[in-house]
Structure 1
Amino acid sequence: MKIIFLDSGVVNPGDISWEPIEKLGEFKNYERTSAEELEEHLREAEAVLIDSCGLGREVMEKCPALKFIGIAATGFNHVDLAAAEELGIAVANVPAYSTDAVAQQAISLLLSVANRVDLYDRSIAAGEWKDSKQPIFLEAPITLLAGRSIGIVGYGNIGRKVAEIAEAFGMKVNVYSRDREAAVKSDVISLHCPLTPETEKMINRELIGRMKDGAILINTARGGLVDEEALAEALRSGKLSGAGLDVLTQEPPEPGNPLVGLKNCYITPHIGFSPVETRRVVIETCAANLESFLRGERLNRLV
């Protein structure tokens, strides 16, 4: 079987063995694949693995040998599942592999906004503490999380883990699906839901207007959940005191993205899933999914 990984650079930049996949067939991986290279790279593939590379009907129809698509992630909005089903192409993903890692990233972003560690580190490196001649140097306010509330939007594995950690800090958890108004009026909103036509830009001017003044937004789910212009306006005006984002609508961001460079907006480059332990699980599960398909079984199948 000819197996192609179209965009392996994020999942495995070279620090993990490909052996679990290599033993299943003739394997070739590309660090990335542009839209112009897609058909060429897929020409003779029987099984294709992807991280975030999009696969639509037009491409699938031009690849008659293709029998299996393995998504090296949980999300699958970048694959046309209806087309795959019609064309007899199996699709499998890697569910729930990054729960602990993404929850850790969400809490790290929250702590960055609340404790301003980077600001103080830069200030001290610039000599401001030394110049102040004070034993304690207070440049920016610190937010105590104990006693505050956090609204969890999307109460799956990651949302529950974030809630568990937040409760350990002494925060009150409000779940969006149970009491939407309580979640919206929380001190912190943390997004953990999928991107669908219904949830696209759910964080917009109207919803931000209903949020608590000075609230914090955390997004480690999908960038498209947020209207970035509306969020930037709220951060500049002080309506929201801060935001921590591991995802943007366009990744990497286009020039002029309104959120990049805002002092109260902390952005990381979609790395929540990326501990080596987590990425190793992705590769092992992709191999297990393909092996299951070859045996006529349906491990983690979407189609």
Structure 2
Amino acid sequence: MSPHRVVFLDAATLPFPLSFDASLGIRYEAFESTSAQALAGRIDGAEIVITNKVRLDAAQLRRASALKLICVAAAGTDNIDLTTAAALGIGVHNVPDYGSESVAEHVIASLFALRRELRAYASAASDGRWGRSPHFCWLGPSIHDLAGSVLGIVGRGRIGQATARKARALGMQVLFAQTPGKPCADDEREIDSLLADVDAVSLHIPLTPATRGLIDARRLGLMKPQAVLINTGRGALVDPFALAQALRTGVIAAAAIDVLEQEPPRAGHPLLAPHLKNLLLTPHVAWASQGAQQRLATRLVELVTGHVKAAQTAPTATAT
């Protein structure tokens, strides 16, 4: 039995190692990262390719004559040419639900951090301002409760729904926005109308031509001055220059951003400016709880193992 060659092109994006049953004849190679120059050589002869963010376009797929399955170690598949893969009979499987709870918890944590000004008060406790206070406490920026506030959610997929459940449990009112490009449901609000009425908005939609630059200067201007923006979806949903300007000038109170349009960002990115004290910027880690990483690793192993077992038990054609 020939070994089933499996390659993980950017295994450093998932710290949990993948382990396969030795009896299945899987030859597994994990590369920390794969450059565009090395890609063709690494997928040549591979039956199964695992990728998180490495792109596989039409030309690369056509050259990979042995390729039967692509496992995307993420919830989306926008780095794969799905049309070409389907035409070549290459299966493509993502892992859509491994991180829903992790991302939703990150959103709620961000809401607490921003609405209760946790970073500002933590700094005051350690930089001497509390010690110089004539009172038992030090009061600075306004602290806002989550309970009773209004959260607008753009995107009604697994993560959007998980976020809504957690927000309601905290006593927040949840409003869903109409998904761009889709009819507006009875319990949804047109996005411009929603932005004007919420205390916080959280983005959970995929990046499409209809959603690129969804939150621009005009829409930021529709929000309340005390409102906050959270983006754990895709970086390009938000215009970073418009957001930086809105934060500097007080158009909105604060933002928590976990994703950027280019990752990692280059020096000079507008949201890396050191004076944006009302920006909580994290390096694309909303998904990355230990539980979510374990679920992702387990599901990838299941996808690979299922394909290999099916290939081994499939009847072989016989000459007539």
Q: TM-score, structure 1 length as denominator?
A: 0.91
Change in 2 beyond 3 A, CA 1:56/1:22:
farther
Matched, 1:184 2:208: no
SS state at 1:19 partner: coil
Q: Which residue in 2 is equivalent to 1:154?
A: 155
Q: Which residue in 2 is equivalent to 1:137?
A: 138
Q: Which residue in 1 is equivalent to 2:314?
A: none
Q: Deviations over 1:69-109 (max 9, x none)?
A: 10011111111101111222111110111111000011111
Q: Which residue in 1 is equivalent to 2:255?
A: 243
Query: How many residues are paired up?
Result: 294
SS state at 1:130 partner: coil
Larger RCO, structures 1/2 (Cα 8 Å, 6+ apart): 1
Matched, 1:44 2:45: yes
Matched, 1:223 2:226: no
Matches within 5 A, 1:74-223: 74-177=75-178, 178-180=188-190, 181-185=192-196, 186-223=198-235
Q: Deviations over 1:134-168 (max 9, x none)?
A: 31111322122222211100011111111112112
Question: Aligned to 1:292, which of 274, 283, 306?
Answer: 306
SS state at 1:128 partner: coil
SS state at 2:11 partner: coil
Unpaired segments ≥5 residues, structure 2 = 179-187, 312-320
SS state at 2:253 partner: strand
Question: Conserved in 2, the CA contact under 8 Å of 1:174 and 1:182?
Answer: no
CA distance in 2, matches of 1:200, 1:69: 26
Deviation at 1:212, TM superposition (A): 2.6
CA distance in 1, matches of 2:165, 2:212: 26
SS state at 1:279 partner: helix
Change in 2 beyond 3 A, CA 1:35/1:23:
farther
Deviation at 1:291, TM superposition (A): 2.8
Q: Which residue in 2 is equivalent to 1:5?
A: 8
Higher Rg? 2
CA distance in 2, matches of 1:161, 1:23: 39
Change in 2 beyond 3 A, CA 1:45/1:246:
same
CA distance in 2, matches of 1:207, 1:146: 25
Change in 2 beyond 3 A, CA 1:89/1:220:
same
Deviation at 1:182, TM superposition (A): 4.4
Question: Counterpart amino acid of 2:9?
Answer: L
Identity score, percent? 35
Deviation at 1:190, TM superposition (A): 0.5
Deviation at 1:22, TM superposition (A): 6.5
Matches within 5 A, 1:13-24: 16-20=16-20, 24=24
Unpaired segments ≥5 residues, structure 1 = 298-303
CA distance in 2, matches of 1:78, 1:272: 20
CA distance in 2, matches of 1:280, 1:169: 28
Q: Which residue in 2 is equivalent to 1:300?
A: none
Question: Counterpart amino acid of 1:211?
Answer: M
